[in-house]
Amino acid sequence: MQGAWAPRDQGQSPGRMSALGRSSVILLTYVLAAIELTCLFMQFSVVPYLSRKLGLDSIAFGYLQTTFGVLQLLGGPVFGRFADQRGARAALTLSFLAALALYLLLAAASSPALPGVYLLFASRLPGALMHTLPAAQMVITDLSAPEERPAALGRLGLCFGVGVILGSLLGGTLVSAYGIQCPAILAALATLLGAILSFTCIPASTKGTKTDTQTPPPGGPRASVFDLKAIASLLRLPDVPRIFLVKVASNFPTGLFMVMFSIISMDFFQLEAAQAGYLMSFFGLLQMVTQGLVIGQLSSHFSEEALLRASVLAFIAVGLAMAWMSSVFHFCLLVPGLVFSLCTLNVVTDSMLTKAVSASDTGAMLGLCASVQPLLRTLGPTVGGFLYRSFGVPVFGHVQVAINVLVLLVLWRKPMPQRKDKVR
């Protein structure tokens, strides 16, 4: 285990890393992702209460959420390129340090002696560099065999489920028992631990000897992390535009619904805050099982193309059911199909997109993939709010069916490529 855990000799390439060393790094990466996601969902449970305490109305709270979404949208691709150039250790350490700054600012914002509103908005700024999940995906992509990649990426769903359940539970409990500041301080301590573990135990690079670095020729300029043309060029590679478009289009209707879910749960389902929390925990538990267990089993028996088509078909079936949904009981019945389609689509498209680029660009590609959700969080309140006010809840089902029927026609007209991974 020496090559994987020693604090200063992890510069060795994955090609020379033992199987035990790779397994140890992957396991630690799962732990780090679970820590960050738990802290993130603790923060989600704190911010609404803190905003109310500081006197922010719903419009100002919307601005706060949009600010976080825009910063993550802009920061995702740049962070991914940074991860490719500087390595996994630097990327994960930077992400945890950014999270540490966010939680410290959040804790300071809850102090009556400080300008809370300004500090609350300032706490959104480090969000541009908080991308632990894409960094973890890059490590797992680099260290796993192509045929094992969907299952390995799917296991991150266990980490996400832990974050949803444990983070929401801890956040709500600590706010009720000890006040708003307590979860923020606990999250700051946990992310500090994550930064230390990342810096001391994660290899400097997880890429192979042929793609460890993107070093320019002698005397040539060093590639910039902020080279947006280089990032955008990944979207022009063969087959990448189609796969990426399928990912964005299929996610869009469900993303709108999930952005509006807090309003729908109160107005349409007539749920109290605690009941909505139980429903989200159910959602998180299903995601844990689906990504952690189901997708791994399915990927060993079916091709990525077949799983992608199955996810789109499931989206269509769920959309039809959503159009006729009239109670929270009906929603609970369709949640398993919704979770299956979401998890399968995202895991399979992430796997296909990382195989479509060189190993030296997996971080940048995963950064682009990670920007899909912030994009939906940015557009969702405006578009979703208009649709909900104008047409009600059934419109989300209608939009989901229409868009995914078009996506299914595209997939059947021209099958997605089955690629081998690039040589590492």
Q: Show the domains of the chain with their CATH numbers.
A: 19-206 (1.20.1250.20), 228-417 (1.20.1250.20)
Q: Which token pair is 238?
A: 């063969």
* Confidence (pTM): 0.72
How high is the pLDDT of residue 149? 77
Is it the case that residue 191 has pLDDT exceeding 90? yes
Rounded-to-5 percentages of helix, strand, coil across the chain: 80, 0, 20
Is it the case that residue 380 has pLDDT exceeding 70? yes
Rounded (5°) CA angle 228-234-240: 145
- Which span out of 61-65, 102-106, 139-143 was modeled with the highest average pLDDT? 102-106
Count of positions (residues) in the chain = 424
How high is the pLDDT of residue 356? 82
Give dist(CA 296, CA 344) in Å, integer: 10
Least confident of 71-80, 298-307, 370-379, 388-397: 370-379
pLDDT in tens, 256-266: 888 788 778 77
Residues whose CB falls within 8 Å of the CB of residue 136, separated by 6 or more in sequence, listed in order: 29, 30, 32, 33, 92, 156, 159
Distance from CA of residue 123 to its chain's centroid?
19
How high is the pLDDT of residue 19? 61
The predicted model gives 197-218 an average pLDDT of 67
Give dist(CA 163, CA 154) in Å, integer: 15
Could you give phi then psi for residue 96, rounded to 5 degrees? -70, -35
DSSP conformational letter for 144: S
Is it the case that residue 177 has pLDDT exceeding 90? no
Cα dihedral angle (416, 365, 152, 14), rounded to 10 degrees? 120
Confidence of residue 415 (pLDDT cuts 50, 70, 90): low
How high is the pLDDT of residue 220? 47
How high is the pLDDT of residue 222? 52
